[in-house]
Amino acid sequence: MEGDFEELNARSVRNIINKGGTFLKSARSMEFKTIEGRKKAYEQLTKNNIDALVVIGGDGTFTGGVYFSQEFDLPIVGIPATIDNDISGTDFTLGYDTALNTVVDAIDKIRDTASSHNRLFFIEVMGRDAGDIALNSGIGAGAEEILIPEEEEGVERMLESLRKSKMSGKLSSIIVVAEGEKSGKNIFQLAEYVEEHLEGYDIRVSVLGHIQRGGRPSCFDRVLASKLGVGAVEALLDGDSKVMIGLSHQKVVRVPLTVAINGEAKYDKELRRVADITSV
């Protein structure tokens, strides 16, 4: 928007495939939320002979892209990149698999302490609207219970489950909590709540936070990024616009950006069932 352009070629990305974060330093823009701001952006793009736009991000990015593509005559394609995996029309978003491995690695470390000293750990992971990170990392780290935004009854079920394990003599446990969990309590309040209702537990809280957003990408994410990147350019070459490039059943697909934004959540109930069975 400020006219700060830099031309990149194949060599420019030569050494970034193993790096986290984004060297583009793209960030939210309040100005872009206004029609004046978007007009300013469009003028910069035309002035610099940009004939198509690839936007990389999640819900907010795509919503901006939809507005922009309705107001101006510029082809626009989206690539889903958010660690929460909360975009419709694609099985996976960029960064999600890497975040899962970071979370599981962190919980493995915490579990060393939990099992050494018979402690109950509440671990908050990312996921405001989707429990994908919590559910997968919870199964992957052998959590006793998992609280996710898609369910209301999590807290009472957890209490019941802890009561049972306590009776069977098990005093060390991991509870994975998505930040968007629906109890209305934050994770420290959740820990207190359990402390009040269950005696004998040595309870600790850990908020994993921003370590989930960085780190060397997993092989899966690197290959996914390569597939989606090729897919985005080819969509533009085909004259497509207003679509997101996604992965569905291992194939690259093109999905209208409006579907990506408005689509139903893809809560995987089968995965919840697996979690319930394996956490026994």
**CB 70, min distance to a copy of itself, A:** 27
- Regarding 111 and contact with a copy of itself (CB under 8 A), the answer is yes
For residue 245, give the nearest of 253, 234, 256, 233 by alpha carbon.
253
Asked if 91 contacts 116 with a C-beta cutoff of 8 angstroms, the reply is no
The reply to whether 112 sits near a copy of itself by the rule CB under 8 A is yes
Binding of residue 113 to a copy of itself (CB under 8 A)? yes
- Nearby residues of 145 by Cβ (< 8 Å), 6 or more positions away: 138, 154, 157, 158, 161, 162, 173, 175, 176, 279
Q: Which of 29, 31, 33, 209 binds a copy of itself (CB under 8 A)?
A: 209
The backbone torsions φ and ψ at residue 114, rounded to the nearest 5 degrees and listed phi first, read: -55, -50
Q: Nearer to a copy of itself by C-beta: 10 or 73?
A: 10
User: Which stretch in 48-56, 150-158, 189-197, 207-215 sits in contact with a copy of itself by CB under 8 A?
Assistant: 207-215
167 interacts with a copy of itself by CB under 8 A: no
Q: What residue type is assigned to position 100 of the chain?
A: L
Closest CB 46 distance from a copy of itself, rounded Å: 27
Choices 49-57, 74-82, 177-185, 222-230; region in contact with a copy of itself by CB under 8 A:
222-230
Site residues for a copy of itself, window 115-154 (CB under 8 A)? 115-118, 121, 136-137, 139-142
Residue 109 found at the interface with a copy of itself (CB under 8 A): yes
Distance from C-alpha of 71 to C-alpha of 62, rounded to nearest angstrom: 14
Q: How far is the CB of 61 from a copy of itself (least distance, A)?
A: 14
Half-sphere exposure of 47 (CA within 13 A, CB side): 11
CB of 69 to a copy of itself, least distance (A): 25
- 46 forms part of the interface with a copy of itself (CB under 8 A): no
- As a whole number of angstroms, the distance between CA 81 and CA 77 comes to 13
> Binding residues for a copy of itself, how many (CB under 8 A)?
72
List binders of a copy of itself among 226-255 (CB under 8 A): 226-227, 229-230, 249-252
In the chain, alpha helices (H): 35-47, 59-71, 96-117, 132-140, 154-167, 187-197, 219-237, 257-262, 269-278
Q: Which stretch binds a copy of itself (CB under 8 A): 29-37, 56-64, 93-101, 148-156?
A: 93-101
The catalytically annotated residue of 59, 84, 238, 240 is: 84
What minimum distance in Å lies between the beta carbon of 1 and a copy of itself?
A: 16
Nearest by Cα to 67 from 86, 97, 41, 99: 41
Provide, rounded to whole angstroms, the least separation between the CB of residue 231 and a copy of itself.
Answer: 9
How crowded is residue 35: how many other Cβ atoms within 10 Å of its Cβ? 10
112 is catalytic: no
Closest to 3 in 3D by CA, of 51, 54, 43, 53: 43
Residues acting as catalytic residues: 84
